[in-house]
């Protein structure tokens, strides 16, 4: 579903365009001025902008120039009721993809928009590489927000993007760490090169090493050909090391070598491989505390932490909850439906604690859209979700009695913690004081439910 930013100071024109684009399956966002449009573009990096030329304050040409500085591939359609040849020539020279004179039929506007997206192979999100291949499941529009903590975080991300230094993003699960990492890549000088992501918690130690560094032919039984690792695949671009705190201590010296020397050895190979890339690491753990506990190398921590970036949890940016919820409703809403959140539900949403952050909010909005019985979604659609606190009432402790084995106690403790967090394994790991990898291993070893349908991490 294509995204488009609609900028016009005329409220009637904005509403009409938004309604028509929505009905045709697009995801529109509106802005009332060039300044408002630029701020929303910075947060969302929409692939296409449709903007009026003449508006109070800065005009549409200013917005186009600033947007294309941030993202040169952005498609821009200018609309004007005061056509002039010099203005049109200037607009095209400055990068406008098309220049349409009002009144314009929506069919003509949509055809123009589709043609621009197709001709320029424009991505639908920041998480897309130059070939137009999808690099992420979530849309960068989820970076929308106007709260001071969130704008400070985005400003810091833009500063990081302007340099070529490695970046460490520390934040709670569900706050959008990977999306911000993709934003940094997208705004950097490496934007036309690969963005490669690897989750350090998703592989056992033996597989993680070959996943990162690759292996030579004959390195082990079954290695019938050279396999490039993630470092090689990210050459020239950016490598995201997600959940870096889960990287085994035995592999950390090898990562340190890459950071210091920008070279590595494939498994089974004696020839070092040179690589040019930027490392962006993310974690929901406090790496400084892990260093003090001896679970993470101090030298690696300081080498990664060249530029540090902290993302605020959703409970600290409450003014962003309402626009995010409305965005998710539009995102999950079927093309043949018109749904809206009731004011009563919006108030409930704003007062909820959201321990799972934006990911939890997205899941709740998906559920609300699926259960909606009319055009307006009431609090009843999310009654169970919004009433469930992070930690429920004390669990029934009758199972805790003399003779219960430590293994059974551990199993029960993991189980009730997962129940209390709604299946959020990262949050369960925080409450239990263990790593995410440990929680995953316990789930497998004890045969606990996989928590399908929840925001796992």
* Length, in residues, of the chain: 457
Residues 165 and 281 in one domain: yes
Residue 379 forms part of a structural domain = yes
Residue 273 forms part of a structural domain = yes
Residue 134 forms part of a structural domain = no
Residue 203 forms part of a structural domain = yes
CB 232 within 8 A of CB 272: no
The confidence score (pLDDT) of residue 93 equals 60
Cα-based distances in Å from 326 to 332, 350, 366, 368, 410 = 10, 12, 11, 11, 41
Residue 55 forms part of a structural domain = yes
Residues 300 and 169 in one domain: yes
CB 319 within 8 A of CB 147: yes
> Residue 448 is part of a domain; what is its CATH number?
1.10.10.60
> Residue 16 is part of a domain; what is its CATH number?
3.40.50.2300
Residues 176 and 325 in one domain: no
Residues 341 and 433 in one domain: no
Q: Strands across the sheet with 48-52, in order?
A: 27-31, 3-7, 48-52, 75-80, 98-101
The confidence score (pLDDT) of residue 407 equals 78
Residue 125 forms part of a structural domain = no
Report the largest interatomic distance among the alpha carbons of the chain, rounded to a whole angstrom: 89
Count other C-beta atoms under 10 Å from residue 343's C-beta. Answer: 9
Task: Return the structure tokens found at 52.
Answer: 């009026």
Contacts of 409 (CB under 8 A, 6+ apart): 400
Which of 258, 288, 310 terminates a domain? The answer is 310
Which of 387, 419, 441 terminates a domain? The answer is 387
Residue 131 forms part of a structural domain = no
Residue 434 forms part of a structural domain = yes
DSSP H helical ranges for 132-286? 148-162, 177-187, 205-213, 230-233, 252-261
Q: Answer yes or no: pTM beyond 0.85.
A: no
Residues 275 and 381 in one domain: no
> Residue 319 is part of a domain; what is its CATH number?
1.10.8.60
How does DSSP assign 184-220, residue by residue?
HHHHSTTTTS-EEEEETTSS-HHHHHHHHHEE-TTSS
Containing domain of residue 154, as a range?
141-310
Which of 371, 387, 403 terminates a domain? The answer is 387
Residues 268 and 235 in one domain: yes
CA 215 distance to own-chain centroid: 31
Residues 416 and 375 in one domain: no
443 exposure class (CB count in 10 Å sphere: 0-12, 13-18, 19+): buried
Q: Give the whole-angstrom CA distance, residue 300 versus residue 260.
A: 10
Residues 265 and 350 in one domain: no
> Residue 196 is part of a domain; what is its CATH number?
3.40.50.300
Residues 159 and 101 in one domain: no
The confidence score (pLDDT) of residue 272 equals 83
Cα-based distances in Å from 338 to 20, 54, 190, 374 = 12, 31, 40, 9
Residues 83 and 145 in one domain: no
List the chain pLDDT tens, one digit each, 457 residues: 578 899 999 888 888 888 888 888 888 889 999 988 888 887 666 788 999 988 988 888 888 888 877 776 788 888 887 655 555 556 666 566 777 887 888 888 888 888 887 765 444 433 333 323 333 333 445 577 778 899 889 889 989 998 999 999 999 988 999 999 998 998 888 988 899 999 888 888 778 888 888 888 777 777 777 788 898 899 999 999 999 998 999 999 999 999 998 888 888 777 888 889 999 999 988 888 889 889 899 999 999 999 999 999 999 999 899 988 988 888 888 877 788 899 988 988 988 888 889 988 988 898 889 888 888 998 887 776 665 444 443 455 556 666 667 777 888 888 888 877 767 787 788 777 777 888 888 888 887 765 443 344 5
Residues 164 and 249 in one domain: yes
8-state DSSP, 416? H
Q: Give the whole-angstrom CA distance, residue 136 versus residue 121.
A: 17
Residues 51 and 75 in one domain: yes
Q: What are phi and psi of 346, to 5 degrees?
A: -60, -40
Number of domains in the chain: 4
């Amino acid at each position: 579903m294509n995204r488009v930013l609609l900028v016009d100071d005329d409220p009637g024109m904005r509403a009409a365009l938004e309604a028509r684009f929505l009905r045709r399956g697009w995801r529109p966002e509106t802005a009332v001025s060039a300044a408002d449009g630029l701020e929303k573009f910075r947060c969302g990096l929409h692939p296409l902008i449709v903007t009026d030329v003449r508006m109070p304050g800065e005009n549409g040409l200013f917005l186009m120039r600033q947007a294309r500085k941030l993202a040169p591939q952005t498609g821009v359609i200018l609309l004007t009721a005061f056509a002039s040849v010099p203005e049109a020539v200037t607009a095209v020279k400055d990068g406008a993809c098309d220049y349409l004179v009002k009144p314009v039929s929506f069919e003509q506007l949509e055809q123009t928009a589709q043609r621009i997206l197709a001709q320029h192979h424009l991505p639908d999100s920041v998480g897309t590489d130059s070939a137009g291949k999808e690099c992420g499941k979530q849309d960068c529009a989820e970076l929308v927000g106007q709260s001071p903590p969130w704008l400070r975080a985005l400003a810091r991300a833009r500063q990081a993007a302007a340099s070529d230094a490695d970046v460490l993003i520390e934040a709670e699960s569900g706050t959008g760490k990977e999306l911000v990492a993709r934003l940094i890549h997208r705004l950097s000088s490496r934007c036309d090169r690969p963005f490669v992501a690897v989750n350090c918690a998703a592989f056992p130690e033996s597989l993680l090493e070959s996943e990162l560094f690759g292996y030579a032919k004959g390195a082990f039984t079954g290695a019938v050909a050279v396999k490039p690792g993630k470092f090689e695949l990210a050459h020239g671009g950016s490598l995201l090391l997600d959940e870096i705190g889960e990287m085994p201590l035995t592999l950390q010296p090898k990562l340190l070598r890459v950071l210091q020397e920008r070279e590595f050895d494939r498994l089974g190979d004696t020839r070092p491989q040179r690589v040019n890339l930027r490392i962006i690491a993310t974690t929901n753990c406090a790496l400084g505390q892990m260093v003090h506990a001896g679970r993470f190398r101090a030298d690696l921590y300081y080498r990664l932490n060249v530029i540090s970036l902290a993302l605020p949890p959703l409970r600290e940016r409450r003014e962003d909850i309402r626009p995010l919820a409305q965005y998710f409703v539009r995102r999950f809403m079927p093309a043949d439906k018109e749904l809206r959140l009731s004011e009563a539900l919006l108030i409930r949403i704003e007062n909820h604690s959201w321990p799972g952050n934006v990911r939890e909010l997205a899941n709740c909005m998906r559920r609300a859209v699926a259960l909606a019985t009319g055009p307006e979604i009431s609090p009843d659609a999310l009654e169970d979700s919004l009433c469930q606190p992070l930690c429920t009432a004390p669990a029934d402790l009758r199972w805790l009695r003399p003779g219960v084995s430590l293994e059974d106690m551990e199993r029960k403790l993991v189980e009730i913690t997962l129940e209390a967090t709604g299946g959020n394994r990262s949050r369960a790991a925080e409450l239990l004081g263990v790593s995410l990898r440990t929680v995953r291993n316990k789930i497998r070893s004890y045969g606990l439910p996989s928590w399908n349908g929840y925001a796992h991490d």
